[in-house]
Amino acid sequence: MTRNVYQRSLRDFQDYADDVTRSRHQTFDDAIRRFASTLVDNTPLGDVIAQLPQVDFDQWYSKQLTTVGGMVGSGTITWPVDGRERLAMQVEMVRRMASDRLDVLDFAQNFMCVGSRFDDNIAEFVQQIFRPFVRDFLRIVHDTPSFSDGLHQRTPPQESEVSMSDELTLFISHSVRDTEIAKSIVTLFEKAFKISARRIRCTSVDGYRLPAGADTNEVLRTEVFGAKLFVALLTPNSLSSPYVLFELGARWGARRPLYPLLAGGATPAQLPAPLNGLNALSMNSADQVRQLLEDASEALSQRLEPAPSFSAEVEEVVAVSTANPHKVSPDILAPLPAVSSSAAEKQPLPKNATSFAGDKIDIHDVHTLRSNSLLSHKNVREIE
């Protein structure tokens, strides 16, 4: 199997896990089935599971049921002490839920019932069982030599398999006016993860710009959708930039993981819909900068370097983020534009778009926005 196959298996695992964590009781069954499809035999992740110990789920689960008393949620779960046995048991639990042999609501009612609302019990299962399982499984995957070798193999893939989105690890969406903050985040990720510069896209920072002669629209469309990590640097500047908002709309519409970061004086109350439904981390806080790295480590299934080695970079992000905060104008807090990922639609031009000469662009001069709602970065720019 090629490196792309291993990368795709991890991407599917993470995306489908995200779908499970966001699901409600009406959609949980479909989400868990899609997630379990990444764990089948004769796949990269299935090969990792094949190396886990054999367990007797029926015997184990019967023992857990004996702890259930007269009150709902009174049962106690005792997982195997050995970490690999625990994972093997949880993999089997997921597979049984996906094949309708174990009902998640019955499971929650027995062991972790928090009320009468189905959605609340699903959320409790996700928080107490599913999220820790995903975290621990990714660690085992990273520590499995056969998978790690496949993920980092240097055998060139077939030309038809080459994709820029497979190569790109980090995309930083930002305003050109926030270059210093963006640069500090680039440096932070490089130091914390040892990421190669060619796997980071930050279009206003030297060394991370688009290649000379690249088709700007096509490359950005690919990278906005395909980057493993998409960081949205949200400042008063970027919240007034039509390009940043269209990039965010495209990523959000694709249902791909999106990490909103507040900086330069922006607050959660200033975020437009649907961004205000996502938890945004403040780059004014060193603890939240470190949380960003921990979340990214889980998403990438890649370990952080020792914390002291990037502590100075964490402090630099905070220092740059808190310097010279700006105010957000109330007239830019409208919801993000709707995005269609199927066919290109004619969209209204942002009111502050101009040509490079500074002339106002007439709406009739723009025939169509691409399906990812990205304006041409060659022909229009935001007003300074």
Local structure of 336: helix, strand or coil? coil
Q: What is the distance between the alpha carbons of residues 14 and 295, in angstroms, rounded to a whole number? A: 12
pLDDT value of residue 324 = 60
Instruction: For residues 20-38, give the mean pLDDT.
Output: 93
Closest CA to 172 of 235, 85, 109: 235
- What is the crossing angle of helices 242-253 and 216-226, to 10°? 50
Q: Can you give the pLDDT at residue 161?
A: 37
Percent of the chain scoring above 90 in pLDDT:
45
**pTM of the model as a whole:** 0.48
70 close to 76: Cβ distance less than 8 angstroms: no
353-354 vs 381-382, strand pairing mode: antiparallel
Query: Which regions of the chain carry the CATH code 3.40.50.10140?
Result: 164-337
The three-state DSSP-derived secondary structure of 60-115 is HHHHHHCCCCCCCCCCCCCCCCCHHHHHHHHHHHHHHHHCCCCCHHHHHHHHCCCC
Residue 73 has a pLDDT of 83
Quick check: 125 pLDDT over 80? yes
Higher pLDDT, 83 or 221: 83
> Interior CA angle at 295 toward 82 and 119, to 5°?
80
Q: Which fold has domain 164-337?
A: Rossmann fold (3.40.50)
- Ramachandran sector of residue 255 (left: φ over 0; alpha: ψ -120 to 50; beta: rest): left
Q: 200 — phi, psi (to 5°)?
A: -125, 135
Instruction: List pLDDT tens digits, range 81-108.
Output: 999 999 999 999 999 999 999 999 999 9
Looking at residue 80, its pLDDT comes to: 95
Question: Which of the four pLDDT bands, split at 50, 70 and 90, describes residue 325?
Answer: low
CA–CA dist 50, 69 (Å, integer): 36
pLDDT digits (tens, 9 = 90+) for 300-317: 888 888 999 999 999 999
Task: Give the model's confidence band at 215: pLDDT under 50 very low, under 70 low, under 90 confident, else very high.
Answer: confident
Residue 4 pLDDT? 80
